Structure 1
Amino acid sequence: MATEIERKFLVAGDGWRSSVTDHLDIRQAYLSVTDTNTVRVRLSGRAAFLTIKSAGAGLTRQEFEIAIPFVDAEAMLALRTGRIIEKRRHIAPAGLLRWEIDVFAGDLDGLVIAEIELPAETAEFERPHWLGAEVTGDPRYGNSSLATNGLPSTGR
């Protein structure tokens, strides 16, 4: 079974930019959002994926990602629930781990969230000075909520 262990933070300032080694542009949309799971389609470059994630506010969730034809992913965007999320993901190495800093565009412009995937829930990691409030477990900052509900009132 595939699992994802992730911590999520708001970002304070632009100090992270000097650590970035790469970036990619992402468009994604949710095809289904239920109490037990989400189904998402994501396009990045010329790659496309269908992802199923278990729902929940904990650090660990089940995640299954399947590569799909790009043209199929584009067609699936029309089947979405809520808005298409557009963001540029910046990669900033952190030892053996890496930060993914998502700078949102469109209706979510101004929102910047940093995520780090961990090998275990208890794994230690360095907290860069540019990290803001932790929003792990806050459902308002989940991408499915951002797609269906928009920016949280405290998101800017």
Structure 2
Amino acid sequence: MAKEVERKFLVRDEGWRKAVERSVSIIQFYLAISSERSIRLRISDGRAAKLTLKFGSDMRIRDEFEYPVPLAEAREMMGFAVGNVIRKVRHHVRHRGYVYEVDVFNSTLDGLVVAELETKDIVPDDKLPAWLGREVTGELRYSNASLALNGFPELVT
């Protein structure tokens, strides 16, 4: 079992693009979602699939377990998806020794760009990159599970 500290941000501008190390096309969907747990399947670049179980209601620190799943079985399970199937391109961007995952959503979530930072420690705000916008950690409407169930989040000004 691995604990993670996860922070999530809206992305302010395109400044992250020059530091992209690699990109992955992702199709992900949920088989179960509740306030304290989720079961997710993710297909990466159409080549590999992983089942992820997340436990805990704290959006910042949760228990997470991951297991490989045969690709054909993952595709078959997509028929049991709860809510919408999420399609996005995840860009891995390094800044000050940390890797940020910048998700550029498409399909029904086109226009949404969110950056996540998963670490074992808490990164101070003054070490965050300038291209990050407002922090949305803990705002349920920006969780992937909520995006699958509710679609594009209503913007708050």
TM-score range, shorter chain: over 0.9
> Aligned-pair distance for 1:119?
1.6
In the alignment, the residues of structure 1 paired with residue 62 and residue 92 of structure 2 have an alpha-carbon distance, to the nearest angstrom, of 22
TM-score, L = length of structure 2 = 0.93
Q: Could you give the per-residue CA deviations for residues 98-125 of structure 1, whole angstroms, max 9, x where no partner exists? A: 01100000000000000111122x3436
Query: Structure 1 counterpart of 2:81, which letter?
Result: R
Supply the RMSD in Å over aligned alpha carbons.
1.6
In the alignment, the residues of structure 2 paired with residue 39 and residue 29 of structure 1 have an alpha-carbon distance, to the nearest angstrom, of 9
Check conservation: 2:21, 2:91, Cα contact below 8 A.
Answer: yes
Query: What is the aligned-residue identity percentage?
Result: 44
Check conservation: 1:108, 1:151, Cα contact below 8 A.
Answer: yes
Check conservation: 1:57, 1:136, Cα contact below 8 A.
Answer: no
Check conservation: 1:82, 1:148, Cα contact below 8 A.
Answer: yes
In the alignment, the residues of structure 1 paired with residue 59 and residue 150 of structure 2 have an alpha-carbon distance, to the nearest angstrom, of 20
Which residue does 2:155 correspond to in 1? 154
How many pairs does the alignment contain? 155
Which residue does 1:85 correspond to in 2? 86
Matched, 1:13 2:13: yes
Check conservation: 2:3, 2:120, Cα contact below 8 A.
Answer: no
Matched, 1:64 2:65: yes
Matched, 1:39 2:39: yes
Check conservation: 2:26, 2:89, Cα contact below 8 A.
Answer: yes
TM-score, L = length of structure 1 = 0.94
Give ranges in structure 1 of 5+ residues lacking alignment: none
SS in 1 for 2:148: helix
